[in-house]
């Protein structure tokens, strides 16, 4: 049996031999290395060792994690602006509110439920955002009940209380954007990799550990995303296509 650590980067799944991974740790602030290769985010000290961080997104020519977070937050803001408009329209027209009143079921709620942070400031913002976001969705339940008795009162309540809670929610999302470096560090993971070279791979998300037969048939691939990343092939596990990594090399700045 071969043990593979499966991780995700953006929408792509990868697997790497578990024997090459010494430890999985939380991303931490890195010290910049002057004139380092563009794939290297810096270095960190871990258990008395200085370890370089290789950004897997950069290595595979993907947008930065921070850019994706900003895009996500903008989309979440737009969704909640639509949520408030839809609530008001449902009261005005006397029709059923079509969006969720459960704060855990919208995209922001799902993201908040999956997010934890070791950064004290980010955790504080997270708690406040969670509180206002729940209040916002709960307010729709009250508005719907009020509208059944008094439509004008329900509309007035939307224009005052609901809008106030909505603005507080959006302001906290904007604060998250201001802190996106710390938010990104809270979400990503470092894989301490050792196979000749020793360094850390920065990835988006750890998915699972899979145990597969050593003689498993891997589909051939024609290209490799980087000269520093050698792929063995693609394997299907649980209906997901996963790129199997053979080796990763530490990028070195070329002397010109």
Q: How many domains, the chain?
A: 2
Entry pTM: 0.78
The per-residue pLDDT for 186 is: 80
Q: Are residues 133 and 37 in the same domain?
A: no
How far is the first Cα of the chain from the last one, in angstroms, to the nearest whole number? Answer: 45
The per-residue pLDDT for 220 is: 58
Structural domain range at position 202: 2-62+189-248
Q: Among residues 183, 201, 235, which one ends one of the domains?
A: 183
Is residue 86 domain-resident? yes
Query: Tell me: the pLDDT tens digits for 162-179?
Result: 999 999 999 999 988 787
Is residue 51 domain-resident? yes
Q: Among residues 132, 151, 183, which one ends one of the domains?
A: 183
Q: Are residues 150 and 104 in the same domain?
A: yes
Is residue 136 domain-resident? yes
The per-residue pLDDT for 219 is: 61
| CB burial readout 202-232, b (16+ within 10 A) else e | bbbeebeebeeeeeeeeeeeeeebbebbebb
Q: Are residues 198 and 173 in the same domain?
A: no
The per-residue pLDDT for 238 is: 83
The per-residue pLDDT for 218 is: 58
List all residues 6 or more positions away from 186 whose beta carbon is below 8 Å from its beta carbon: 26, 27, 115, 116, 117, 118, 119, 122
The per-residue pLDDT for 240 is: 87
Residue with tokens 């909505």: 166
- Specify the CATH number for the domain of residue 113: 1.20.120.30
Query: Tell me: the pLDDT tens digits for 210-252?
Result: 887 755 555 655 545 578 998 888 888 888 889 999 999 998 8
Q: Are residues 76 and 139 in the same domain?
A: yes
Q: Among residues 183, 204, 238, which one ends one of the domains?
A: 183
With a cut of 70, list the residues of the chain below it in pLDDT.
Answer: 214-225, 254-256
Q: Are residues 151 and 201 in the same domain?
A: no
């Amino acid at each position: 049996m071969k043990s593979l650590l499966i991780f995700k980067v953006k929408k792509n799944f990868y697997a790497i031999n578990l024997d090459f991974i010494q430890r999985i740790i939380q991303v931490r602030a890195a010290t910049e290395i002057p004139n380092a290769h563009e794939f290297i985010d810096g270095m960190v000290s871990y258990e008395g060792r200085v370890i370089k961080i290789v950004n897997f997104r950069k290595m595979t020519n993907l947008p930065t994690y921070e850019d994706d977070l900003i895009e996500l937050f903008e989309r979440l803001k737009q969704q909640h602006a639509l949520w408030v408009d839809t609530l008001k329209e449902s009261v005005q027209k006397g029709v059923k509110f079509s969006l969720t009143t459960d704060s855990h079921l919208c995209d922001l709620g799902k993201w908040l439920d999956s997010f934890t942070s070791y950064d004290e400031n980010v955790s504080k913002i997270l708690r406040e955002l969670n509180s206002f976001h729940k209040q916002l969705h709960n307010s729709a339940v009250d508005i719907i009940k009020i509208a059944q008795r008094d439509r004008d009162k329900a509309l007035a309540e939307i224009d005052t209380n609901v809008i106030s809670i909505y603005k507080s929610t959006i302001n906290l999302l904007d604060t998250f954007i201001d802190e996106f470096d710390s938010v990104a560090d809270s979400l990503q993971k470092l894989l301490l990799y050792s196979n000749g070279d020793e360094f850390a791979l920065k990835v988006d998300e750890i998915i699972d550990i899979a145990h597969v037969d050593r003689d498993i048939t891997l589909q051939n691939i024609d290209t490799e995303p980087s000269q520093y990343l050698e792929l063995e092939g693609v394997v299907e596990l649980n209906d997901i296509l996963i790129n199997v990594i053979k080796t990763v090399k530490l990028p070195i700045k070329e002397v010109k």
